[in-house]
Chains A and B, each alone.
Chain A
Amino acid sequence: MDRAFRRQDEARATRQRETVRNPVTDEVIALGAHDLTIADIFKNDQAQDLFVNYFLRGMDTSGGLSKAVIAAQFNAQPLTEDQHLGLERARTQFNARRAQAEQMRKHFSDADLGEMAERDERIQVITGKKGPAFTLDFLKGHIADLAIKNPDRFDEIANSLKTVHSVRKGEKAARVDKLVDSRIKQYKLTDDTYLAATSGDSTEEIRKALQGAVASKLTGFKAALSFIFKRRGANKLYESFQEQKALIDECNQCLLDVANVLRVTISEQTVGALHDAAVNGKDAIEEKRGSGIQSIRQLREARDANTTAKIIERYKTARDTHVKNNRSYGGSNKWDDLPNNNSGKLGYPIALVRDAFVAAETNRQDALRRDGDSFLISLLEPLLLKQDEIRTAIDSV
């Protein structure tokens, strides 16, 4: 039975290896030099650090597999069948991610950086201060790290690049804008659609209204096309003068609908409002997303929750809970009576309670770094206590 499961798992791993795709172009890519065995990974310090400390830890939130792998590697402790399978799955995905990161790096060229700098003044300022070569290296290095350390964020960036890439390959945005502008001039259009879409009170409402406008565009286009194909398919376009007039009216209405929504797309405000709403409207959905910093208010809360005083407060609570549990198992109800190490005295050693607390605090900090507003998160680091500072703080209690 175990062998059958192992074969299934190996077959799945082979399939995954065969179908690794370029995250931007969707082309199938070969793993090449990234097809590493576990032994290869452990021979390379950097690969080992990324695999054990980030990738495995990210996949295996309980930390059981990471610990077992380290014990197997350094203390020759055997892995169970399940751990073997988990490790093989992790290795396959790790290799695939690294191969994808290499493909992503190729999309960060001098030309791409130049284009982004033209569009965003902030990139321009940074490139001016650090130089294009340095800036490009910074980005490429960071992207490669993200593939392993924060795969969700890596995927989000890949998706944006994919959209941009597909349009750049086809039509140039500016040219299409001009074309739309000249094509809709003959229609008498008002700003009603745009005004209706942006009249909401909050950015979230604007975002929803604009998304609605976009959805209605698609519906409008589809209806128009279906109308055309239906009539084109018939031998006769109309039976009578009344029908001819009705059809022309219907056609005019479709033209007006399509032109009206096209009018919305050439407004710079639309793009700006969509983007602003996507960035600033995050407050409205933050409750659903749970962790991560989405707003300045949340950054402030994270700062206030990570002071030495607050950490000591949480530590005292954890300590009290531990003593209560110890008592329920027949041990002492005094913290000072707990053993300092594995001395055989009844109770969980204080040192391990402290280690567990530091680990829990580190996990809390990691959660803040995930899924949020990347710029606000970039300001978070100086506000968080380092592991040794947390230890010093709790040692003082």
Chain B
Amino acid sequence: MTMSNEELREHIDRLIDKGDRAAMEKFALDNFTELPESMQKDVLLAFYEEALEKEADKSTIVKLQVQGLDALGKLEAIKADLES
């Protein structure tokens, strides 16, 4: 059953005063299906967006890794030439 605005407000008020983001996320996940539908969409998209950003950070690093490996390969080849 969907939580009333008053109930929701009470919960969120308490969480804000506590100042704990992890507790806020836990509340949203534990009570996800009881949240109003528009809020469910907002919460889902917020989490998805954050996960995507994290993935994009990782992807940026992968691009650098590919460049780095390429540089290593070329450097090792030139070193072999120098040593021969």
Chain A residues in the interface with B (C-beta under 8 A): 116, 119-120, 122-123, 125-126, 129-130, 135, 138-139, 141-143, 146, 153, 156-157, 159-161, 163-164, 166-168, 170-171, 173, 176-177, 179-180, 183-184, 214, 217-218, 220-221, 224-225, 227-228, 231-232, 237-238, 244, 247-248, 251-252, 254-255, 258-259, 261-262, 265-266, 270-271, 274-275, 278-279, 296-297, 299-300, 303, 373-379, 381-383
Contact = CB atoms under 8 A, between A and B. Distances in A.
B76 A180 contact: no
A259 B72 contact: yes
B18 to A, nearest CB: 9
Nearest to B10: A382
B69 A176 contact: yes
B80 to A, nearest CB: 10
11 contacts: A116-B52, A122-B25, A123-B51, A167-B59, A171-B62, A176-B69, A180-B68, A248-B82, A255-B72, A379-B24, A382-B8
Contact of A129 (B19, B33, B41, B50): B33
B57 A303 contact: no
Range of interface residues on B (Cβ < 8 Å): 35 or more
B75 A116 contact: no
B75 A251 contact: yes
A237 B65 contact: no
Contacts of B50: 120, 279, 374-375
Contacts of A143: 45
Closest 8 CB pairs of A and B: A378-B42, A374-B46, A120-B51, A167-B59, A375-B46, A160-B56, A163-B56, A382-B8
Binding site of B, secondary structure by majority: helix, strand, loop or mixed?
helix
Interface string B40-62: 11111111111111111111111
Contacts of A228: 74-75, 77-78
A237 B25 contact: no
Binding site of A, secondary structure by majority: helix, strand, loop or mixed?
helix
A238 B81 CA distance: 11
B49 A160 contact: yes
Nearest to B9: A382
Interface of B: 5, 8-9, 12-13, 15-17, 19, 21, 24-25, 28-29, 32-33, 36, 38-72, 74-79, 81-83
A303 B19 CA distance: 13
Contacts of B66: 170-171, 176
Given A254-B71, A296-B19, 14 more contacts: A116-B52, A116-B55, A157-B49, A217-B64, A227-B75, A262-B69, A271-B54, A296-B16, A374-B42, A376-B21, A379-B12, A379-B16, A379-B39, A381-B38
A237 B83 CA distance: 10
B48 A139 contact: yes
Given A139-B44, A160-B52, A126 B65 contact: no
A123 B69 contact: no
Given A141-B41, A228-B75, A258 B68 contact: yes
A383 B81 CA distance: 69
A180 B69 contact: yes
A122 B47 contact: yes
